[in-house]
């Protein structure tokens, strides 16, 4: 019953997390796109009101004319729409999902004793430490290298380079401490925490300060808008790395690789470069070489994580079903039997094994996601044995 309720919690939290993430990322992408497409106004009345850029658009049967003020409009309207709950709910639902799936099951999901042998409390504390440390280090990078003495924005290229180096180091460190699947997720969660903290600690407080100064009749500093935009632009470049780290944790061929930290870094870098191409394209800049680099990286990844020996099995004798059953009984049946059929899969009979042959091949041989964290110590020879049997037709 407990497992059944946890499955429901998993489903509902995952659903909430995806919906709120779509809302947050969609709004973020839209405003970055909008900033890059605004045109200087020509109408005298717009210039007189302090409008710095405008855009005409058509959508859903109507016409829209968004306008951006250099600092703020002369007369602030009473009702303003804020964009922050999308960010907060994405982080809260993601953290709740992380707690239900990983922290409550640290022995199974966080820890791989072949990677690092430690206790569940230590692994949990370290996972939470990654989230907190990620934000603290990132924020210090921005403060020390991205802010001039007068408070304005400094060399953001240097800031982005240092952030990339830090994230790469975090990916390496996570893969030395946690099970591969958990390591990928923790790095993604760390970056997502940075993004949401940007909204909570910088973007929204800065906007609130501008509004408070305007309503109190005080001069409005442009620094708040500059810093908010800096963090917002960082968020747009970090979005793709977060998404790919989350999605890739469903593919064991990636996180179970001996060089899984290299795989993760290349995936995140490819996502960030692709997002950079879109941003530059929206500015009218020709950046096609970026996509060429991404394509080359993907080819390198395809070669790096390809199944070993998959094309040379024809010359080896076809295994008997009894040999495969012996491996499955030792490595898989404890979680896939009549009493405990994880994910509805049973492998405790010849008929059941033949019926699930394709799925077993995909999970055990190709993606290498099962056994989970290789808890039953299946060997490479045993994976190859299963692969040859399935490729030969899964015959009895």
pLDDT attached to residue 94: 96
d(CA 188, CA 240): 10
* C-alpha of 129 from chain center: 18
pLDDT attached to residue 180: 92
Considering only residues 231 and 307, tell me which one the structure prediction assigns the higher pLDDT.
231
pLDDT attached to residue 155: 84
pLDDT tens digit sequence for 102-152: 999 899 889 998 899 999 999 999 999 999 999 999 999 999 998 887 777
Whether residue 57 is predicted with pLDDT greater than 60 in this model: the reply is yes
Q: Which tokens in the block code for residue 44? A: 């005298």
Whether residue 254 is predicted with pLDDT greater than 50 in this model: the reply is yes
Count of beta carbons in the 10 Å neighbourhood of residue 110: 26
pLDDT attached to residue 167: 98
pLDDT tens digit sequence for 61-114: 999 999 998 777 888 888 888 999 999 999 999 999 999 989 998 998 899 988
Q: Which tokens in the block code for residue 331? A: 């490595």
Whether residue 223 is predicted with pLDDT greater than 70 in this model: the reply is yes
Per DSSP, the three-state class of 70 is coil
Q: Please tell me the number of Cα atoms within 13 Å of 40 on its side-chain side.
A: 0
Question: Please, is 72 exposed, middle or buried when counting C-beta atoms within 10 Å of its C-beta (0-12, 13-18, 19+)?
Answer: middle
pLDDT attached to residue 316: 60
pLDDT tens digit sequence for 23-43: 999 999 999 999 999 999 999
Whether residue 200 is predicted with pLDDT greater than 90 in this model: the reply is yes
Q: Which tokens in the block code for residue 17? A: 């997390």
pLDDT average, residue stretch 157-169: 96
d(CA 228, CA 236): 13
Closest C-alpha among 95, 106, 100, 94 to residue 6: 100
Considering only residues 393 and 268, tell me which one the structure prediction assigns the higher pLDDT.
268
Banded model confidence at residue 297, pLDDT cuts 50, 70, 90: very high
Give the DSSP letter of residue 222: T
Whether residue 260 is predicted with pLDDT greater than 60 in this model: the reply is yes
Give the DSSP letter of residue 34: H
Banded model confidence at residue 357, pLDDT cuts 50, 70, 90: confident
In percent, the amount of the chain with pLDDT more than 70 equals: 97
d(CA 95, CA 209): 29
pLDDT attached to residue 311: 45
378: left (phi over 0), alpha (psi -120 to 50) or beta: beta
In the block, which residue shows the tokens 């795989």?
A: 263
Count of beta carbons in the 10 Å neighbourhood of residue 384: 19
Count of beta carbons in the 10 Å neighbourhood of residue 290: 18
Banded model confidence at residue 389, pLDDT cuts 50, 70, 90: confident
Considering only residues 237 and 217, tell me which one the structure prediction assigns the higher pLDDT.
237
For the chain, the average pLDDT equals 89
Whether residue 332 is predicted with pLDDT greater than 60 in this model: the reply is yes
d(CA 196, CA 139): 12
Whether residue 3 is predicted with pLDDT greater than 80 in this model: the reply is no
Q: Are 347 and 328 in contact (CB under 8 A)?
A: yes
Q: Is the preceding peptide bond at 200 cis, omega within 30 degrees of 0?
A: no
Cβ contacts of 208 within 8 Å, gap of 6 or more: none
In percent, the amount of the chain with pLDDT more than 90 equals: 56
* C-alpha of 360 from chain center: 27
Whether residue 313 is predicted with pLDDT greater than 60 in this model: the reply is no
Closest C-alpha among 183, 168, 177, 23 to residue 93: 23
Q: Is the preceding peptide bond at 178 cis, omega within 30 degrees of 0?
A: no
pLDDT attached to residue 310: 45
pLDDT attached to residue 324: 86
pLDDT average, residue stretch 213-237: 91
Which residues partner with 57 through β-bridges?
Answer: 64
pLDDT attached to residue 322: 84
């Amino acid at each position: 019953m407990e497992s059944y309720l946890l499955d429901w919690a998993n489903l509902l939290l995952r659903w909430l997390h995806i919906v709120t993430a779509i809302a947050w990322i969609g709004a973020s992408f839209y405003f970055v796109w909008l900033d890059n497409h605004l045109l200087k106004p020509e109408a005298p009345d717009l210039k007189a009101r302090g409008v710095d850029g405008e855009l005409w658009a058509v959508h859903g049967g109507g016409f829209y004319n968004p306008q951006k003020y250099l600092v703020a409009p002369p007369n602030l309207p009473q009702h303003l729409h804020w964009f922050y709950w999308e960010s907060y709910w994405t982080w809260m639902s993601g953290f709740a999902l992380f707690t239900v799936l990983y922290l409550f099951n640290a022995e199974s999901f966080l820890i791989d004793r072949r990677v690092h042998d430690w206790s569940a409390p230590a692994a949990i504390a370290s996972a939470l430490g990654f989230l907190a440390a990620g934000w603290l280090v990132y924020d210090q990078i921005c403060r020390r290298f991205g802010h001039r003495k007068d408070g304005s924005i400094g060399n953001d290229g240097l800031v982005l380079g240092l952030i990339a180096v830090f994230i790469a180091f975090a990916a390496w460190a996570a893969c030395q401490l946690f099970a591969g699947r958990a390591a990928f997720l923790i790095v993604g969660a760390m970056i997502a925490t940075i993004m949401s903290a940007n909204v909570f600690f910088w973007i929204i407080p800065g906007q609130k300060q501008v509004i408070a100064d305007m309503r109190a009749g005080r001069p409005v500093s442009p620094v708040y808008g500059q810093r908010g935009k800096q963090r917002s632009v960082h968020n747009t470049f970090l979005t793709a790395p977060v998404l790919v780290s989350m999605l890739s944790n469903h593919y064991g061929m990636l996180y179970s690789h001996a060089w899984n930290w290299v795989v993760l870094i290349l995936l995140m870098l490819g996502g960030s470069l692709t997002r950079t191409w879109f941003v530059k394209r929206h500015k009218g800049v020709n950046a096609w070489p970026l996509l060429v680099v991404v394509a080359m990286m993907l080819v390198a990844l395809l070669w790096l994580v390809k199944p070993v020996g998959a094309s040379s099995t024809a010359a080896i004798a076809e295994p008997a079903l009894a040999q495969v059953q012996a491996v499955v009984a030792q490595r898989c049946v404890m979680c896939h039997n009549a009493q405990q059929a994880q994910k509805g899969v049973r492998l405790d009979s010849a008929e059941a094994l033949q019926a699930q042959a394709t799925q077993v091949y995909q999970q055990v041989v190709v993606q290498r996601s099962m056994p989970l964290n290789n808890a039953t110590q299946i060997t490479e020879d045993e994976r190859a044995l299963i692969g040859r049997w399935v490729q030969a037709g899964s015959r009895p």
